[in-house]
Amino acid sequence: MRLDVVTIFPEYLEPLNVSLVGKARARGRLDVRVHDLREWTHDKHNTVDDTPYGGGPGMVMKPEPWGEALDAVIGSGAEGVRPTIVVPTPSGKPFTQEIAVELAEKPWLVFTPARYEGIDRRVIDEYGDHYDVRELSIGDYVLAGGEAPVLVMVEAVARLLPGVLGNAESHRDDSFAPGAMADLLEGPVYTKPPEWRGRGIPDVLLSGHHGKIARWRRDEAFRRTTANRPDLLERTDPAAFDKKDREM
């Protein structure tokens, strides 16, 4: 998969060199290219922002550098491969595990993290007429810029790519994983030693009984979801619950 990020803070994307994403790059699973938006400015001060039409506080990112940058990046693609353009914005649709799964199937993602009050709307409309453009929010709060949201989204997508996680099975039981966990949070997990500061681990996990362990995990997922995210259970199709679930 190819990933491009256009930003005025390329150094903010340094974490893409470490851990899981860094290893995926080193192994050739990910081709990550970070670009400085200011390279597509033509004035002495490399200006990327201007005052908003209609007045008001804050500045808006100018359309010309973004247009030139996106044309150059998109123009550098392999023939026949079209990018999905991801625009991080608090006013976008919520970025969810389901969307991460969908994006992980794309050959090429181009991210446009903004600063100030965001990018002149015409840029999103212009590229939206020709490409798959996704405006996505990582949560109901406002950050100073879109670089941290890009790191969040890239990591969520990258760990789903084949050959990136050590154990391909490990994301199938995650909270929100499509399938049995779609609307559930993962329950507690334990490792050795069997006793720590007087605290043991649930007997069932030592039983070796796979059916009972699976039941316990599902019950714990229900318990945690009921406590922390009851909204998830409300939206679940009742047919997805088995008899034991309903007793929880």
Tell me whether residue 117 is one of the annotated catalytic residues: yes
Q: Which of 52, 63, 90, 219 is catalytic?
A: 90
Distance of alpha carbon 151 from alpha carbon 139, whole angstroms = 14
* Binding to ligand SAM in span 182-221, by CB under 6 A: none
For 42, 72, 124, the CA distances from 68, given in Å and listed in that order, are 11, 6, 13
**Cβ closest to ligand SAM, residue 7 vs residue 225:** 7
Q: What is the nearest approach in angstroms of ligand SAM to the Cβ of residue 61?
A: 8
**Going by DSSP bridges, is the β-strand pair 60-61/49-50 parallel, antiparallel, or unpaired?**
antiparallel
Q: Which of 38, 159, 215, 223 is catalytic?
A: 159
Token output for 174: 């995650």
Q: What is the nearest approach in angstroms of ligand SAM to the Cβ of residue 187?
A: 28
The b/e string for 115-149 (b: 16+ C-beta within 10 A; e otherwise) is bbebbbeebbebbeeeeebbbbbbeeeeeebbbeb
* Binding to ligand SAM in span 124-183, by CB under 6 A: 137-139, 141-146, 149
> Looking at 65, 83, 88, 187, which residue binds ligand SAM (CB under 6 A)?
88
* Candidate segments 67-75, 111-119, 154-162, 215-223, binder of ligand SAM by CB under 6 A: 111-119
Stated as kind and residue range, the H or E segment containing 125 is helix 121-128
Tell me whether residue 50 is one of the annotated catalytic residues: no
Q: What is the nearest approach in angstroms of ligand SAM to the Cβ of residue 220?
A: 30
N-to-C CA span, the chain: 42
In degrees, rounded to 5, the angle at the alpha carbon of residue 39 between the alpha carbons of residues 34 and 45 is: 130
Token output for 177: 């994983």
Tell me whether residue 83 is one of the annotated catalytic residues: no
Tell me whether residue 113 is one of the annotated catalytic residues: no
Q: Which of 36, 102, 117, 245 is catalytic?
A: 117
Positions at the binding site for S-adenosyl-L-methionine: 138-143
Residues engaged in binding ligand SAM (CB under 6 A): 88-91, 113-115, 117-118, 137-139, 141-146, 149
